[in-house]
């Protein structure tokens, strides 16, 4: 039965995500490195390994806590041959090169001690070809008990010239599970339950949600909530996610539709503020209001070029987009390294090793991002307030975040000239600039490619 409104965990509204690609964040234990790791800092290729691991994340928790993020999303960590680990071999074992299950246990304990949370990546559309069940059908054909767990044409697995089994995007190393088989559901749902129950993870991100049957996705969410009613289940959804929410299948999505708008407006400058606000209105109204506050909003991920690179290395544009992300409804996420100005083209280049040498980091970007996180953390209206559009014309976007008596005004100028923004007569306030820490009044002076974040003080 559909409930009246989508019910989602309350904590997600206060979350600030940090996405880590564990192979590239920090190598905390060279003793567990796979053979033939590349020197840290080299440009990655699709097959390269650098030795990052979960021990490395534990060692950098002080850094993350100082940055101000409070929830980690890790790309897959279970045993798999590739560096990205979307080709799972064992759903119940953390990859030994990441430190195994013990390293995850330690990471979660340390996170929870710091009131931080963790969401893992569930790859339930497909496994890797080294998964023992797929290996069993290679060995035994139709007499394997797992024969109906995959979808083959023929009685023997054939890889070339084309795989004769259903696999993700035609990639032979990733055979798809046959979700028509209830045994497959039971197996995958046992994975969902296991890591919540035994390791107390706080939620799942579902890989390639759009490839999965909606009933299965809904069952993942139900199973997760049965183990922990506060578990958060978000989907990787590239298109509009409207139907997923209609079917109560997810708590939120990775908001790639918003990301597209951010690229067009902030990075590429293809739209003016009017076009951007029309676009925002369209996607805002396509989802239940609840889902707009619980979806994961991002500038970057392991599947997209770095946002700074999309901005053609213009720091000001990157920071405008960041200012928007941290003052807009939704759960803002930082892709590891975006906060220090890392660059990168399409995958695998957007998966470079983290630049830990501070002299090579962009400390200006770091300082602004850290301040935006701090404002988001301190001001409840930025997390939970209503969104009220004030002005969207040419280069100027102005909006309020309003919660009870608290009103925060954000004014963004994407133009190359400073502007003086006259507010509508309805806003007769005095303002305190939360960023510059000074009083101001209308008209609001906004620098070229700049922003103001102002508390309205009546």
136 near Ca ion, rule: CB under 5 A: no
Minimum distance between the CB of residue 29 and Ca ion, rounded to whole angstroms? 5
Which residue is listed with tokens 């990168």? 344
User: Can 251 be counted among the known catalytic residues?
Assistant: no
* 332 contacts: CB under 8 Å, gap ≥ 6: 16, 17, 297, 298, 325, 326, 376
User: By C-beta, is 55 or 127 nearer to Ca ion?
Assistant: 55
Residue among 23, 53, 248, 251 that touches Ca ion (CB under 5 A): 53
User: By C-beta, is 14 or 33 nearer to Ca ion?
Assistant: 33
22 near Ca ion, rule: CB under 5 A: no
| Active-site residue, from 236, 248, 251, 339 | 236
Which residue is listed with tokens 């969410």? 221
27 near Ca ion, rule: CB under 5 A: yes
User: By C-beta, is 26 or 150 nearer to Ca ion?
Assistant: 26
33 near Ca ion, rule: CB under 5 A: yes
User: By C-beta, is 96 or 213 nearer to Ca ion?
Assistant: 96
What does the radius of gyration of the chain's CA atoms come to, in whole angstroms? Answer: 23
Helix (H) / strand (E) containing 121: strand 117-122
Minimum distance between the CB of residue 51 and Ca ion, rounded to whole angstroms? 4
Could you give phi then psi for residue 111, rounded to 5 degrees?
-65, -50
User: Can 186 be counted among the known catalytic residues?
Assistant: no
Tell me the C-alpha to C-alpha distance, in Å, between residue 274 and each of 269, 298, 299, 320, 426: 12, 21, 21, 16, 20
Q: What are the counts of helices (DSSP H) followed by strands (DSSP E) for the chain?
A: 14, 18
CA distance linking residue 145 with residue 137, whole number of Å: 8
Which residue is listed with tokens 């009870």? 404
Helix, strand, coil % over all residues of the chain, rounded to 5: 40, 20, 40
Q: Considering CB under 5 A, how many residues would be counted as binding Ca ion?
A: 6
User: By C-beta, is 32 or 295 nearer to Ca ion?
Assistant: 32
Residue among 44, 51, 76, 341 that touches Ca ion (CB under 5 A): 51
32 near Ca ion, rule: CB under 5 A: yes
Stretch that binds Ca ion, among 29-37, 242-250, 349-357, 402-410 (CB under 5 A): 29-37
83 near Ca ion, rule: CB under 5 A: no
| Active-site residue, from 121, 176, 202, 207 | 207
Active site residues: 207, 236
In the complex, the residues that contact Ca ion under the rule CB under 5 A are: 27, 29, 32-33, 51, 53
């Amino acid at each position: 039965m559909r409930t009246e409104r989508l019910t989602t965990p309350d904590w997600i509204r206060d979350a600030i995500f940090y996405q880590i690609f564990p192979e590239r964040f920090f190598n905390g234990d060279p003793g567990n490195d796979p053979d033939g790791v590349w020197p840290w800092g080299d440009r990655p290729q699709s097959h390269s390994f650098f030795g990052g691991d979960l021990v490395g994340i534990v060692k950098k928790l002080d850094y993350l806590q100082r940055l101000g993020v409070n929830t980690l999303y890790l790309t897959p960590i279970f045993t798999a041959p590739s560096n990205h680990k979307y080709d799972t071999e064992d759903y119940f074992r953390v990859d030994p090169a990441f430190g195994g299950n013990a390293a995850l246990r330690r990471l979660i304990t340390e996170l929870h001690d710091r009131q931080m949370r963790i969401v893992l990546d569930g790859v339930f559309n497909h496994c890797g070809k080294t998964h023992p069940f797929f290996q069993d059908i290679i060995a035994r054909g139709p007499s394997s008990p797992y024969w109906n767990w995959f979808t083959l044409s023929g009685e023997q697995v054939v890889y070339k010239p084309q795989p004769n089994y259903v696999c993700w995007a035609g990639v032979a190393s990733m055979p798809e599970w046959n979700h028509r088989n209830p045994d497959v559901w039971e197996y995958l749902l046992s994975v969902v339950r296991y890591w919540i129950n035994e390791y107390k993870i706080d939620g799942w991100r579902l890989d390639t949600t759009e490839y999965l049957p909606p009933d299965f996705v809904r069952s993942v969410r139900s199973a997760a909530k049965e183990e922990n009613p506060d578990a958060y289940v978000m989907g990787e959804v590239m298109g509009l996610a409207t139907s997923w929410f209609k079917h109560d299948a997810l708590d939120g999505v990775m908001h790639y539709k918003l990301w597209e708008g951010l690229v067009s407006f902030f990075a590429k400058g293809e739209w003016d503020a009017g076009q951007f606000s029309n676009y925002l209105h369209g996607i805002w109204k396509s989802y239940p209001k609840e889902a707009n506050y619980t979806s994961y909003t991002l500038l970057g991920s392991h599947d997209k070029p770095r946002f700074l690179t999309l901005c053609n290395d213009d720091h000001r544009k990157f920071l405008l987009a960041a200012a928007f992300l941290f003052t807009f409804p939704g759960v803002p996420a930082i892709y590891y390294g975006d906060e220090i100005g890392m660059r990168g083209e399409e995958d695998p280049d957007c998966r470079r090793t983290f630049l830990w040498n501070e002299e090579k980091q962009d400390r200006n970007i770091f300082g602004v991002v850290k301040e935006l996180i701090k404002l988001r953390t301190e001001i409840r209206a930025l997390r939970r307030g209503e969104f009220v559009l004030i002005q969207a014309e040419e280069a100027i976007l102005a909006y309020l975040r309003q919660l009870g008596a608290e009103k925060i005004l954000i004014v963004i100028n994407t133009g190359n000239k400073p502007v003086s923004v006259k507010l509508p007569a309805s806003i007769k306030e005095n303002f305190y600039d939360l960023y510059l820490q000074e009083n101001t009044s209308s008209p609001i002076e906004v620098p070229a490619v700049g922003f103001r974040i102002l508390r309205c003080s009546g």
